[in-house]
């Protein structure tokens, strides 16, 4: 539904985005990752039409991005903010009317969400009287109230306590089920693994990784396993099948990390070991998104 094509954004001396292209599919949760200052916010600001790219284009539902699309996009910036002196109900109403909702419809929906997120008597409270976490909730409601097709969340969980973070996560999943597409910008990798279908990694203004979470993890598997066993086995005799990377003794058991030769499988390892020891555990080492992130970013820095 959203294609970002060859975007270049240049600030005076600094190139914030260097020929970045992305494809966000409808109904998916898309993770936009990258270290601080990589260019994520610049890209989001282009998608939300806050700034315009120097070259390249953004296509939204087959059309070049234009001001009609404002009502179809919801944006929760990393730096949250509301009018401090305004009543909360008024505030959300104002923000959603700017997105094109009618007063009646917006009021109805605000009441619905207030009910759902346990904010019932918040309407005439002022923002300055709320805690930071409560303000986040208000801002989240303001972001999604106009039922946008595309919801862009920049670090959505920062500032939430675990209980509220969970509530928001469930709301995101539910909205996603109803068909909303999400773009997530974050560097909290656990939430990426939990939520995202697809990710793109931006580093130093360039996209350096792009693909579905499963695919990426797949390519980062390198045939490494943890094996835990009881008994004695001379690992030197395993040459040709695997190589031991690490050995540990834990409570009378032995834990080894092995890397298999490219054409070998875990079954072969087992058949080699079974006659000698009793095996209590075998795990494939799957890199976490965190590992991939660090690996990729560091790798890039060394080049």
Partner 1 sequence: MNKILLIIRREYLSRVKKKSFIIMTFLTPLLIAGIYGLIGYFTYKGIKDTHDKVAVVNNNKILIEKLVSDKNIKYEYVTQSLEEMKKSFKKGDYDYVLYLPNFTLQAPDSIQLFGAKQAGLSLNRRISGDIEELIRNQKLKESGIAQSDLDKLKTSVDISVKKIAETGQEQDSSAGASTIIAFIAGILMFMFIMLYGIQVMRGVIEEKTSRIIEVMISSVKPFQLMMGKIIGIAMVGLTQFILWIVLTLTISTVAVSFFTNKDDIKKSVAVSQAGQGVAQLSQGTPAASAMQGPMADIQKSLAGLDIAKIVTVFIFFFLGGYLFYSALYAAIGSAVDSETETQQFMMPVMMPLLLGYALSLSVVTNDPYGPIAFWLSMIPFTSPIAMVVRLPYGVPNWELALSMLILVVGFIGTVWVAGRIYRVGILMYGKKTTFKEMFKWFTYKA
Tell me which residues touch partner 1 (CB under 8 A): 12, 45, 48-52, 54, 67, 70, 73, 75, 77, 79-86, 94-95, 97-99, 139, 142
First to last CA, the chain: 34
Q: Using the minimum distance from each CB to partner 1, give the nearer residue, 132 or 281.
A: 132
What are the C-alpha distances in Å from 275 to residues 69, 90, 230, 232, 278? 66, 73, 12, 11, 8
Structure tokens at 274: 């079974």
Q: How far is the CB of 11 from partner 1 (least distance, A)?
A: 9
Q: Which CB, 12 or 163, lies closer to partner 1? A: 12
Decide whether 81 or 275 has the Cβ nearer to partner 1. Answer: 81
Instruction: In angstroms, give the least distance from the CB of 177 to partner 1.
Output: 25
The tokens describing 14, both together, are 């600094």
Compute the least distance from the CB of residue 38 to partner 1, in Å.
18
Measured from the CB of residue 198, what is the shortest distance to partner 1 in angstroms?
23
Residue 57 CA: distances (Å) to CA of 6, 49, 263, 284: 7, 11, 44, 42
CA-based nearest residue to 3, from 61, 82, 69, 44: 61
Residue with smaller CB distance to partner 1, 48 or 205: 48
HSE (side-chain half, CA atoms, 13 Å) at 96 = 27
Q: Which residue lies nearer to partner 1 by CB, 86 or 241?
A: 86
What is the closest distance, in whole angstroms, from the C-beta atom of residue 78 to partner 1 in the complex? 9
């Amino acid at each position: 539904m959203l294609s970002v094509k060859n975007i270049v954004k240049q600030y005076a001396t600094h190139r914030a985005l260097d020929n970045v292209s992305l494809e966000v599919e409808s109904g998916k949760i898309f993770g936009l990752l990258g270290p601080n200052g990589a260019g994520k916010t610049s890209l989001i600001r282009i998608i939300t039409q806050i700034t315009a790219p120097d070259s390249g284009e953004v296509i939204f539902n087959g059309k070049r991005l234009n001001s009609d699309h404002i009502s179809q996009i919801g944006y929760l910036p990393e730096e949250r903010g509301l009018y401090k002196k305004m009543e909360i109900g008024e505030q959300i109403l104002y923000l959603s009317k700017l997105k094109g909702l009618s007063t009646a419809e917006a009021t109805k929906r605000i009441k619905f969400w207030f009910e759902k997120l346990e904010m019932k008597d918040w309407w005439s409270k002022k923002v300055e009287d709320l805690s930071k976490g409560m303000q986040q909730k208000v801002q989240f409601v303001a972001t999604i109230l106009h039922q946008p097709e595309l919801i862009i969340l920049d670090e959505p969980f920062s500032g939430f306590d675990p209980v509220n973070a969970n509530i928001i996560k469930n709301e995101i999943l539910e909205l996603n089920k109803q068909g909303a597409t999400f773009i997530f910008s974050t560097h909290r990798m656990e939430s990426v693994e939990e939520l995202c279908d697809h990710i793109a990694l931006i580093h130093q203004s360039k996209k350096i990784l792009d693909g579905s979470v499963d695919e990426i993890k797949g390519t980062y598997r390198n045939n490494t396993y943890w094996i835990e066993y009881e008994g004695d086995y001379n690992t030197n005799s395993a040459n040709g099948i695997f190589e031991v990377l690490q050995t540990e003794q834990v409570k009378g058991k032995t834990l080894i990390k092995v890397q298999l030769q490219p054409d070998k499988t875990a079954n072969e390892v087992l058949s080699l070991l079974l006659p000698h020891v009793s095996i209590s555990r075998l795990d494939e080492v799957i890199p976490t998104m965190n590992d991939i992130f660090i690996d990729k970013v560091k790798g890039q820095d060394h080049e």
